[in-house]
Chains A and B, each alone.
Chain A
């Protein structure tokens, strides 16, 4: 089983370089926001370990909400350039491989940041500017890029054979398919190393153990917590302005070029320690759940997210949310509202201006129009977005893994029919 890493590197921009930076980033794309895999600066396609990656200018148009809704928060925050990637393997190896493949390009791009000089040590700088991600979701833990590529190739080969013999019955078809699949190399799937498994178990136990140890405090604190929460839920201001059409056109131009889309959103937390620490605890629990509960294809009932992450910025005054999801933005919002409103409310309700929730999980995203507007208000363009497997949805990847499993253990009877139907 492959271990997967996630990195978030960010640094403030130099003054006045924004236009040139955006022009440089646009030169890496083939259509708005879509990275050319072999682009001249960071040829993501050559780093066989990357699943998704992006460069995004963290410019927060919702900062001005603070003037009306949160006087205690500063009116400005730095505009940063962020590089975010999800990949196979350890962080150190990833950064080294990245520097080997794209050293000069990265130096050019990070050169737009305030403290990146021509002589700066690239890898040390990237390490120093790494932000810890508060919660990270991986659709299928341990499914690496090689596995995805090989299983997709197997599916292609089997499908071609199936189409060439489309009137055969299942029993006659099996040897033909078995033969066709032989031509595709399949690297055996690795098991998780013992040390990693122990680490995982220890991390899993952390939540129940902490809950047990802190039980008396939790019981004591429950009533004051509920009182504080309810008072805030009833008075926190809501801000969900009507979408600007021009901005919507600009964001739409980056979307729906492939089944998978990128999503970037940024916003301020509600002011005060209560919301800040609530957000810290909730995101930690979401991260724990993503690591131990929602490991294989589903985040509660949402099946379309490949990778998603929440990262605190500016001393936890702001959160940046990055996602890679299948389908249109409308369909993604639809999933949020109809399938996991409770989860969205938990993670987003600490955001300034979020639609009114009740008891942390009710209301909120269920207020469809306000919720969509709130999301839109905080969505920002992703200047360069790369996905290693264009055209493959989460359903495809899971299906391809099932096809491989069937290929390696000959199914019979109804199972054989079901297997063939998936090809």
Chain B
């Protein structure tokens, strides 16, 4: 079987974003719409030229248009999603639809949905129209698209602008360095937790519905009329970053000269995206944390370690049949080093972009820059909201207990809310250059959630079914 040819066939049925981030197109608009009149909305949305992956692979594109829908949006368009079997319950409930979910995701206090600018209640979007183009072109294109929208089709809830540079988040760190390598060719034969060593290549079914996943099964998805095939779930969260607060705090703790070094420990990478030198990496991503189980080089609580722990299915690695059995029975290794395993079942394709004008870190540290509002439009794609995005956000990023720690959340993203028993979550522990353990407490909240929603990004065929008028 020619895997590549099969993949090319797939490309015509997949929205381009699944395979590409389009970092070269510096302009981005996330247009959030609510359906006004379903028939008119369907007709207008049908008229939009949605970019396929095949097009993106064939030539360099100047403009990219992608379409995704919330469950509320599909309902508004007349698709009875609650009766169509196969849609994920998390998608049907919505990101802000259940207080238990908000609690688990850490969306509480200032980040609670009730304070969101969009995504909750009356401000829940129906349609996400994503426009990517050159920075000089994007505004005109947006005007042309929205100008052509019939007034009875949709109402404009909000337009979120992204700003350059793509690939650098507002705290100043190079972002989006580590992405899973998607197995488009179907070369993997995964069948559950048996890959004791870390690997970056991940089964297509982890990102695209209708394909085999890392457990070796095709997961549940809406099969009726092919609506779900080659679709994926798109998670969108608008994260406001307190850049001034971040650098003020790091400078206060570590001094002006030490601020960047402390921030690099918190992130777990250099500000330029380079791995921490002690990890002896080959290139940007050629490393794991297997040789650093206690976080001497890269703190256990560091952001990159939480977001992508690079763990195989067994911290012992592959050691031959008998020793693997001994390890599986728990007779080898220690509990704390086994706290985070099997990272490959929780990988995400990240497609986020920054917004606002982020000042230079050194200027903030020197007190020369006044920060305006800026942050990240965090966008990721996954086939299982529960097992991928919600797991990473809830069990790894927001949890003060990640990796056997306690009292620490993600040093960048944590909400710092005490746990129910009153214990604080605002600490961060690392080792300094001499190997001495260091600990600080009182980390302020640097990131606040301003909005968010779960979308379904259908395949091209699925999109046509969603938008076709009922016979």
| Contact surface of A with B, Cβ cutoff 8 Å | 159, 162-163, 166, 169-170, 242-243, 245, 248-249, 252-253, 255-259, 294, 297-303, 326-328, 330-331, 334, 337-339, 341-342, 366-369, 390-396, 398-399, 417-418, 420-421, 423
Asked if B193 and A338 sit within 8 Å, CB to CB, the answer is yes
> B103: which A residues are within 8 A, CB to CB?
256-257
Asked if B217 and A368 sit within 8 Å, CB to CB, the answer is yes
Interface centre among A297, A337, A421 (most CB of B within 10 A): A421
CA of A390 to CA of B419, assembled, Å: 9
> A420: which B residues are within 8 A, CB to CB?
437
Whole-angstrom distance from the CB of B71 to the nearest CB of chain A? 11
Asked if A366 and B215 sit within 8 Å, CB to CB, the answer is yes
Which 10 A-B pairs give the minimum distances between C-beta atoms?
A: A391-B421, A421-B437, A390-B421, A395-B404, A252-B100, A338-B193, A303-B335, A300-B330, A338-B342, A366-B192
Whole-angstrom distance from the CB of A389 to the nearest CB of chain B? 8
Asked if B406 and A395 sit within 8 Å, CB to CB, the answer is yes
Asked if B191 and A366 sit within 8 Å, CB to CB, the answer is yes
Using known A-B contacts A245-B93, A369-B217, A391-B421, determine if residue A328 contacts B406 with beta carbons closer than 8 Å.
Answer: no
Whole-angstrom distance from the CB of A380 to the nearest CB of chain B? 17
> A297: which B residues are within 8 A, CB to CB?
335
Contact check: which of B89, B336, B401, B439 meets A327 at CB < 8 Å? B401
Asked if B341 and A339 sit within 8 Å, CB to CB, the answer is yes
Q: List 9 A-B contacts (CB under 8 A).
A: A162-B439, A166-B440, A303-B336, A338-B313, A342-B328, A391-B421, A392-B421, A393-B401, A398-B335
For B218, the closest partner residue in chain A by CB is A369
Please provide the chain B residues from 292 to 347 with a CB less than 8 Å away from any CB of chain A in the complex: 294, 313-314, 327-330, 335-336, 338-339, 341-342, 345
Asked if B420 and A163 sit within 8 Å, CB to CB, the answer is no
Whole-angstrom distance from the CB of B392 to the nearest CB of chain A? 11
Asked if B193 and A337 sit within 8 Å, CB to CB, the answer is yes
Contact check: which of B101, B328, B338, B345 meets A252 at CB < 8 Å? B101
**Interface code B411-428, partner A: CB below 8 Å = 1, 0 otherwise?**
000000001111100000
> A166: which B residues are within 8 A, CB to CB?
438-440
Using known A-B contacts A257-B420, A327-B395, A391-B419, determine if residue A242 contacts B330 with beta carbons closer than 8 Å.
Answer: no
Asked if B406 and A393 sit within 8 Å, CB to CB, the answer is yes
Asked if A245 and B399 sit within 8 Å, CB to CB, the answer is no
CA of A390 to CA of B421, assembled, Å: 6
Asked if B420 and A339 sit within 8 Å, CB to CB, the answer is no
B98 within 8 A of A: yes
**Interface code B333-372, partner A: CB below 8 Å = 1, 0 otherwise?**
0011011011001000000000000000000000000000
Q: How big is chain B's contact interface, by range?
A: 35 or more
Dominant secondary structure of chain B at its interface with chain A: loop
Whole-angstrom distance from the CB of B454 to the nearest CB of chain A? 14
CA of A249 to CA of B89, assembled, Å: 10
Using known A-B contacts A337-B192, A398-B335, determine if residue A242 contacts B294 with beta carbons closer than 8 Å.
Answer: no
> B336: which A residues are within 8 A, CB to CB?
303, 395, 398-399
For B430, the closest partner residue in chain A by CB is A421
CA of A420 to CA of B432, assembled, Å: 13
Asked if A252 and B98 sit within 8 Å, CB to CB, the answer is yes
> A258: which B residues are within 8 A, CB to CB?
419-421
CA of A390 to CA of B406, assembled, Å: 12
Whole-angstrom distance from the CB of A200 to the nearest CB of chain B? 20
> B193: which A residues are within 8 A, CB to CB?
337-339, 341, 366
> A366: which B residues are within 8 A, CB to CB?
191-193, 215
Asked if A391 and B422 sit within 8 Å, CB to CB, the answer is yes
> B227: which A residues are within 8 A, CB to CB?
none
B47 within 8 A of A: no
> A399: which B residues are within 8 A, CB to CB?
336, 404, 406
Asked if B391 and A330 sit within 8 Å, CB to CB, the answer is yes
- Other 20 A-B pairs with CB < 8 A, given A393-B406, A417-B436: A159-B439, A243-B89, A252-B98, A301-B327, A328-B104, A330-B387, A330-B394, A331-B395, A334-B342, A334-B345, A334-B391, A337-B193, A338-B192, A339-B193, A366-B193, A366-B215, A368-B192, A368-B215, A398-B335, A399-B404
Contact check: which of B92, B215, B401, B439 meets A259 at CB < 8 Å? B401
CA of A374 to CA of B391, assembled, Å: 20
For B346, the closest partner residue in chain A by CB is A334
Whole-angstrom distance from the CB of B153 to the nearest CB of chain A? 30
Asked if A245 and B330 sit within 8 Å, CB to CB, the answer is no
B471 within 8 A of A: no
Asked if A294 and B330 sit within 8 Å, CB to CB, the answer is yes
B79 within 8 A of A: no
Please provide the chain B residues from 428 to 446 with a CB less than 8 Å away from any CB of chain A in the complex: 429, 431, 435-441
CA of A19 to CA of B439, assembled, Å: 51
CA of A162 to CA of B198, assembled, Å: 36
Contact check: which of A163, A302, A367 meets B217 at CB < 8 Å? A367
Using known A-B contacts A245-B93, A298-B335, determine if residue A328 contacts B330 with beta carbons closer than 8 Å.
Answer: no
> B101: which A residues are within 8 A, CB to CB?
252
For A389, the closest partner residue in chain B by CB is B421
B390 within 8 A of A: yes
Asked if B330 and A299 sit within 8 Å, CB to CB, the answer is yes
B65 within 8 A of A: no
Asked if B435 and A417 sit within 8 Å, CB to CB, the answer is yes
For B82, the closest partner residue in chain A by CB is A245
Asked if A259 and B419 sit within 8 Å, CB to CB, the answer is yes
> B431: which A residues are within 8 A, CB to CB?
421
Whole-angstrom distance from the CB of A170 to the nearest CB of chain B? 6
> B276: which A residues are within 8 A, CB to CB?
none
For A390, the closest partner residue in chain B by CB is B421
CA of A121 to CA of B377, assembled, Å: 64
CA of A330 to CA of B390, assembled, Å: 9
CA of A159 to CA of B338, assembled, Å: 24
**Interface code B96-115, partner A: CB below 8 Å = 1, 0 otherwise?**
00111101100000000000
> B191: which A residues are within 8 A, CB to CB?
366
CA of A283 to CA of B304, assembled, Å: 41
CA of A208 to CA of B433, assembled, Å: 53
For A367, the closest partner residue in chain B by CB is B217
For A170, the closest partner residue in chain B by CB is B436
Whole-angstrom distance from the CB of B266 to the nearest CB of chain A? 15
B85 within 8 A of A: yes
> A342: which B residues are within 8 A, CB to CB?
328
Asked if B342 and A249 sit within 8 Å, CB to CB, the answer is no
Please provide the chain B residues from 170 to 212 with a CB less than 8 Å away from any CB of chain A in the complex: 191-193
